[in-house]
Amino acid sequence: MIPRIGVAVVIATLVATQSGFANASSTVSNLTMHRPANPGALLPVNNDPKVGFFGSNLDWPEGITAGPDGNVWATEFWVGEVTRITPSGGITEFPVASTAQSIVTGPDGNLWFTESGADAIGRITPAGVASSFPIGGIDPRGIAVGPDGNLWFTEMDDGYIGRITTSGVVTRFDVSPNGELWGIITGPDGDIWFTDFFKNLIGRFDPKSLKQLSPIMLNAGDNPWALAIGPDHNVWFTGRSSGKIGTVANGKVSEFTIPGPPTPYPDSITTGPDGNLWFTESLSSGIGRFDPTTKRFTARLALPSTDIPTSITAGPGGNLWFTNPSYNSPDDRIGVVQLH
């Protein structure tokens, strides 16, 4: 890992403190690597809908998002790269400053991602020019676009969430001392929602008043991880250790046990273009599907037993795209659920 960058920042609990990191960013040279392996080759798996894969020997693909350019963008955790995947499967890799994790399309038309190894937030243009902004904190993980036109992120190791402007100015907030934070989204109420998997809660933070709101307490052992807005406009979450997905509607929590193999370890969750919720089962090598109207699970999509599907997003072609690290390195690749 790249050594952490020491930055002097004064931080008050739940009080905004700004760090002028816009001028302290570093830019990574625009060196690209084009993968010749399986460009445009869809490898079918026996499922309905069909599941296929692009690429080979990626270095632990982790986060994924639909880009502003009509492509899919993903992170490769082990090598510190951000990867562009065209709808036909052409793959181009761009080096970034450190281990890259979650990624999102920003309000400025660039891709923003967390660099946990450098304690920084990264930015890359659709042309592949990368920059890095130290946060003055520890281990950023989740990232989302806020209702205020900024990016918001979680810090796993110290219980902070942070805000970064598109010019790179960072402000941090101590919201869960001794917590371990991961997922983050803008909720339907315009507040920032985040998961604390150590304390088994979903936190809420008002980006206008900069005040913490009452958390949503979950069951012991739920270990909430990812968040998404469902087609019903409620917040949905994955319970990694409990093997459940759940929702918060009108302040009430409902949870649903995932059927099928034991210990599915649900990771990421997203709303599909078909109106279902789709989620990854990282330990049981599958893609799950749930109808939020009927409250029923549909038959899961089974993947090869060495696969570890991680993040999932709706993307080009009206399909679902997911990152697929594997115990078998050649199968570290990008997956596609073909809905159309």
Which runs of E-coded beta strand occur in 146-285? 151-155, 160-164, 170-174, 181-186, 192-196, 201-206, 211-217, 224-229, 235-239, 244-249, 252-257, 266-271, 277-281
Cα→Cα distances 66→85, 164, 166, 167, 305, Å = 10, 21, 19, 22, 27
DSSP single-letter state for residue 150: S
Indicate the number of domains in the chain: 1
Mean pLDDT of the chain: 88
pLDDT of residue 48: 83
Confidence (pTM): 0.89
pLDDT tops 70 at residue 22: no
> Is residue 2 in some structural domain?
no
Provide the pLDDT for residue 46: 62
**Residues of the domain holding 281:** 18-337
pLDDT at 340: 87
9 is a domain residue = no
- Is the residue at 5 inside a domain? no
Residue 185 sits in a domain whose CATH number is 2.130.10.10
Answer yes or no: is pLDDT of 226 > 50. yes
Of the candidates 182, 292, 291, 147, which has an alpha carbon nearest to the alpha carbon of residue 234? 292
Q: Calculate mean pLDDT across residues 306-316.
A: 97
Residue 12 covered by a domain: no
Provide the pLDDT for residue 3. 28
Please list, residue by residue across 85-118, b when 16 or more beta carbons sit within 10 angstroms of its beta carbon and e when fewer do.
bbbebbbbbbbbbbbbbbbbbbebebbbbbbbbb
pLDDT confidence bin for 45, thresholds 50/70/90: low
pLDDT digits (tens, 9 = 90+) for 234-275: 999 999 999 999 999 999 999 999 999 999 999 999 999 999
The answer on pLDDT for 12 being more than 60 is no
**Residue 118 corresponds to which tokens in the numbers above?**
């450098």
Name the more confident of 130 and 39.
130
Tokens 């273009």 sit at which residue?
273
Q: Among the listed ranges 19-23, 32-36, 63-67, 314-318, which one has the minimum average pLDDT value?
A: 19-23
**pLDDT score at 259:** 96
Instruction: Give the integer Cα–Cα distance in Å for 100 and 25.
Output: 16
What are the pLDDT digits (tens) for 166-206? 999 999 999 999 999 999 999 999 999 999 999 999 999 99
Query: What's the confidence (pLDDT) of residue 14?
Result: 33
Query: Is 225 part of any domain?
Result: yes
Q: What SS3 class is residue 13? A: coil
pLDDT score recorded for residue 311: 98
pLDDT in tens, 98-146: 999 999 999 999 999 999 999 999 999 999 999 999 999 999 999 999 9
Residue 7: inside a domain, yes or no?
no
**Domain-located, residue 290:** yes
pLDDT above 90 covers a percentage of the chain that reads 84
* pLDDT recorded at residue 24: 46
Residue 30 pLDDT level (bands cut at 50, 70, 90):
very low
Whether residue 164 is contained in a domain is answered as yes
